[in-house]
Amino acid sequence: MILTRRQRLTRRDLWLALLPFLLLVVASLALAVAFVRPAPPNELVLSTGNGEGSYQGVGKKYQEILARDGVRLILRPSEGSVDNLARLGDPDSGVAVGFIQGGTGFAANSPGLVSLGALYYEPLWVFYRGEVPLRDPGALGGLRIGVGAQGSGTRALALQLLALTNAVLPPTRLVDIGGDPAADALLRGELDAAMFIAPPEAELLQRLVATPGVHLMNLERAEALSRRFPYLTHLVLPAGVLDLARGIPPGDVNLVAPTANLVARADLHPALAYLLLRAATEVHAGPGLLEHAGEFPAAREAGFPLARDARRYYQSGTPLLQRYLPFWAATWVDRLWVVAVPLLALGIPVLRAIPPLYSWRVRSRIYKWYAKLKEVELELDDGPAEPLLQQMLIRLDQIEQAVSRVPTPPAYSDQLYGFRTHIELVRSRVRAALASRASSVVPPGAGN
């Protein structure tokens, strides 16, 4: 479509009036790019554990849940909690989140890490061979003890408890073996005792409790241990809960248990933190043999400060946008909202100024001719001679012709016609002056 000159100028006036608002929008977007947190990545690396522990299985559940929202959760197996902690502390590892057993690490030794909460209990199971009942880790002194593999949370906790009761001194032999290999070694008689951290449903526990001659230690000082170590909880395993038909265990068993915790780097994107917390709630909120429904996930002692986003989640639940919008949509709306609030605060006054600015642009084309019209009026007040009055009429005609070609939107036509009226008023004064000059001239021979 070919636009007329009038249409082109009208559009130019409109764009010039909109220019301040457009500059404000561009400046706001530039600030958003510079200061607003970028969109969350679509993949995340979670350090889990070995194939025998619970961390790997829990990680797979998280992986399926996050995939619903288009986030790829990459599971990176490890030797356990200590290994996971080392990866989280290494900025070059690529690991953003990991499962950490309570008591394995602390904020003082691992700055830059935050907790997303406790997920479930990880009971410490102490099995031993022999007929003499043992009720304290100190009673294991002098035995061959499987304390867990290097890098595992089992080994870290086992060494702490054995050191507290002086059971690490010779002739005690500590063997760095855990999981199924440790259970097999205990059953074969190659170990006198072994320590495990596992959920009560673990298959290796079912094997050990069902084996004659292998006993589960009832920690009679479990409450004392939980007082000495804040990350431990005193739990009671009810009689018969593992196997009601065979009555296993035959009586209540006192245990201590740290919690499995979800620990992340402090720079984890908030949107991904909320996704992980939602996944944790879906996986761990139900009841278990040791947990009540709704007990986990929870903001419990984990050795690391609770992340700000996690605190908000435990206080208020899922953010409003993520409750009603898909993850990607909620993320973009949340980011745009940060820009929209200041943009609206500044943009409303600017938008209100656009109509007056546009009106001034249109009227200015007419107003500049008023200066020329005023020149004619001022010269007229000086009482010019007839030739100059004739020149004034010519100038007024030129001004009128020029103004008639000024592109003016229909809404502002009254300005154009008003100016023409003013031209006509000045023209009338000039003609009156000419008539006055003509009547004052005495015709030749009039005095005879």
Residue 348 pLDDT level (bands cut at 50, 70, 90): low
Answer whether residue 194 is part of any domain. yes
Residue 46 lies in domain? 40-119+262-318
Whether the pLDDT of residue 9 is over 60: the answer is no
Residues 312 and 409 in one domain: no
Please indicate, yes or no, if residue 191 is contained in any of the structural domains. Answer: yes
**If we measure between CA atoms, which residue out of 399, 385, 398, 400 comes closest to residue 430?**
385
In a domain, 298, yes or no: yes
- What is the per-residue pLDDT for 34? 54
Kindly report the CA angle at 409 between 353 and 361, in degrees rounded to 5? Answer: 40
Mean pLDDT of 403-419: 72
Give the list of residues 6+ apart from residue 233 with CB closer than 8 angstroms, or none: 121, 226, 256, 257, 258, 259
Q: Do 129 and 248 sit in the same domain of this protein?
A: yes
Last residue of a domain, one of 241, 257, 273: 257
Residues 165 and 242 in one domain: yes
Domain boundary, last residue among 229, 257, 285: 257
Q: Do residues 236 and 286 both lie within one domain?
A: no
By C-alpha distance, which of 430, 426, 381, 382 is closest to 400?
426
- Residue 129: per-residue pLDDT: 95
Does 294 lie in the same domain as 248? no
Task: State how far the Cα of 388 lies from the Cα of 143, in Å rounded to an integer.
Answer: 128
Burial of 398 per CB tally in 10 Å (0-12, 13-18, 19+) = exposed
Task: Report yes or no on 196 lying in a domain.
Answer: yes
Are 165 and 237 in the same domain? yes
Q: What is the pTM of this model?
A: 0.69
Q: Is 175 a member of any domain?
A: yes
The crossing angle, in degrees rounded to 10, of helices 270-284 and 327-381 is: 150
Residues 140 and 163 placed together within one structural domain of the fold:
yes
Please check whether residues 184 and 103 belong to one and the same domain.
Answer: no
Residue 3 pLDDT class (50, 70, 90 cuts): very low
Q: What is the mean pLDDT of residues 376-400?
A: 85
Q: What's the pLDDT score for residue 83?
A: 93
Contact 25, 246 (CB under 8 A): no
Whether residues 81 and 156 fall in one domain = no
Exposure on the CB side of residue 67, measured as CA atoms within 13 A: 9
Q: 327 in a domain, yes or no?
A: no
Q: What is the predicted pLDDT for the residue at 2?
A: 46
**Same domain flag for 252 and 279:** no
In a domain, 158, yes or no: yes
**Quick one: pLDDT at residue 1?**
47
Domain of 232, CATH number, reads 3.40.190.10
| Residue at a domain's end among 257, 284, 304 | 257
**Do residues 251 and 134 both lie within one domain?**
yes
Residue 68 lies in a domain: yes
Cβ neighbors of 424 (< 8 A, separation 6 or more) are: none
pLDDT, one tens digit per residue, over 256-304 is: 999 999 999 999 988 899 999 999 999 999 999 999 999 999 998 778 9
Q: Do 211 and 278 reside in the same domain of the chain?
A: no
How many folded domains does the chain comprise? 3
Question: Per-residue pLDDT tens for 93-110?
Answer: 999 999 999 998 887 788
